[in-house]
Amino acid sequence: MAYYETSTSIGDYTMNETGTKNENKRILCRIEKYVDYHQEFQKLVNSDRILNVLEDLMGGPCILFKDKINLKRPNGGGFRPHQDVQARWDDFVKYTMSIMVSTDLSTPENGCLEVAPGQHKRGLIGKYDRPLEGKDLKGMKFEKIPTEIGDALFFDHFTPHQSKPNKSNKPRSNIYLTYNLLSDGDHRNEYLDRKRRELPPDNERYEGIKFNDSPLHAIKYKVTKKN
């Protein structure tokens, strides 16, 4: 499930990593459901190094709920302040925890992850299907989390986070793996089925198909004419 965005000019940064103009072009920004098709990613998802930490943090055996790779090409958009639970993940499972694996150097310039420490203790703060805004943000202070290649961050679906656009001339990517307790069941395919209906990947968007833009990702979507 591949998602694209339309790049925009950000200040003086209008060139991509090859030195060509990148403004108003469709650029890959996310891939979901890739684990099913890649043996090495399957090993990563089920590795003891990840599962043992998750079991300690969550209090029991865990199973994969969601997998995505976020890619920020030069001029790629950021994400508005939000909690992952606002995407209605709790329709399927009570609680999830994500691990972000940094596959590129992540810096403030290229839009590193920013989190609001301690705010996860408040539970659901905002409303479903919309970013945190207005009174939701009262008392929050987002801190930038630069990472080296291979660094891993764990955070739950109540943790407010955001990121800025990539203002550098080099791409940046991160792997995100989200898990729930095995005792809550395997609901990954149910979630993905709903995601495909409500926000289909680019190659499944045709005239006549209705879907809502993402309220969290500051990007522009596109519908393709069916041949």
**pTM: predicted TM-score of the whole model, two decimal places:** 0.86
In this prediction, residue 77 has a pLDDT band, given cuts at 50, 70 and 90, of: confident
In this prediction, residue 110 has a pLDDT band, given cuts at 50, 70 and 90, of: very high
More confident residue, 95 or 226: 95
Three-state secondary structure call for residue 189: helix
Domain boundaries, the chain: 2-204
User: What's the pLDDT tens digit per position in 37-51?
Assistant: 999 999 999 999 999
pLDDT above 60: residue 159: yes
Q: Which CATH class is domain 2-204?
A: mainly beta
pLDDT above 70: residue 9: no
pLDDT at 186: 97
* Longest alpha-carbon distance in the chain: 51
Q: How far is CA 17 from CA 60, 93, 159, 191, in A?
A: 43, 40, 32, 35
Q: How far apart are CA 14 and CA 167, in angstroms?
A: 9
Residue among 80, 87, 196, 187 nearest 136 (CA): 80
